[in-house]
């Protein structure tokens, strides 16, 4: 199948597929007589695997590791589990950071009168004028 069909079936864009080939994440597609990329069902399965891995937050290095495990029939599932647990912990840490950021933003908004006057607690806070008063 051509790249458009592989993209449709895998859930990735053609541009992403070409990029994955360029960085050697996937093997280069075979070329037809017309020079166009041709993908078989195994390649599309790998592309779908990568789309799903990216969808749940894995970066390209992690995707490479997971794809290597997927290809290795002598793999040990504990390796995949460890990668998933590490990613889960990274996401939990990021969630906590985002919640803390949101709390700071809400506190900044709460301190601002939001009226027609020029005084703005938000701008003062960002400028560092209110350090020690709940600044970041």
Over residues 75-84, the pLDDT tens digits come to 999 999 999 9
What pLDDT is stored for residue 58 in this prediction? 96
What pLDDT is stored for residue 133 in this prediction? 52
Name the DSSP class of 61.
Answer: H
Long-range contacts at 84-92 (CB < 8 A, ≥ 24 apart) = 87/56, 87/57, 87/58, 87/62, 91/57
Characterize 111-136 residue by residue with b for buried, 16 or more Cβ atoms within 10 angstroms of its Cβ, and e for exposed. Answer: beeeeeeeebbbebbeeeeeeeeeee
What pLDDT is stored for residue 131 in this prediction? 56
Over residues 19-77, the pLDDT tens digits come to 999 999 999 999 988 989 999 999 999 999 999 999 999 999 999 999 999 999 999 99
Cβ(70)–Cβ(33) under 8 Å? no
All structural domains of the chain, each given as residue ranges with its CATH number in brackets, are: 3-75 (1.10.1660.10), 94-136 (no CATH)
Confidence at 132, pLDDT banded by 50, 70, 90: low
Alpha carbon distance 65, 67 (integer Å):
5
Over residues 99-122, the pLDDT tens digits come to 999 999 999 999 998 888 888 989
Confidence at 16, pLDDT banded by 50, 70, 90: very high
How far apart, in Å, do the first and last CA atoms of the chain sit? 54
What pLDDT is stored for residue 136 in this prediction? 46
Rounded to whole angstroms, what are the CA distances from 82 to 53, 96, 131? 15, 21, 41
Q: Which of 61, 58, 64, 66 is nearest to 87 (CA)?
A: 58
Please name every residue paired with 31 in a beta bridge, in sequence order, or none if there are none.
Answer: 37
If you average pLDDT over residues 91-103, what whole number do you get? 97
Q: What angle do CA 108, 114, 117 make, to 5 degrees?
A: 120
């Amino acid at each position: 199948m051509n790249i458009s069909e592989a993209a449709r079936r895998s859930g990735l864009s053609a541009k992403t597929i070409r990029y994955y080939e360029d960085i050697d994440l996937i093997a280069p597609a075979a070329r037809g007589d017309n020079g166009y990329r041709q993908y078989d069902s195994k390649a599309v399965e790998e592309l779908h695997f990568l789309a799903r891995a990216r969808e749940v937050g894995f970066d390209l290095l992690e995707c490479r590791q997971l794809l290597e495990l997927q290809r290795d029939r002598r793999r040990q599932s504990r390796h995949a589990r460890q990668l998933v647990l590490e990613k889960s912990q990274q996401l939990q840490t990021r969630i906590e950071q985002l919640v803390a950021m949101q709390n700071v933003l809400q506190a900044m908004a709460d301190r601002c009168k939001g009226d027609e006057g020029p005084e703005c607690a938000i701008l003062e806070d960002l400028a560092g004028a209110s350090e020690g008063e709940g600044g970041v």
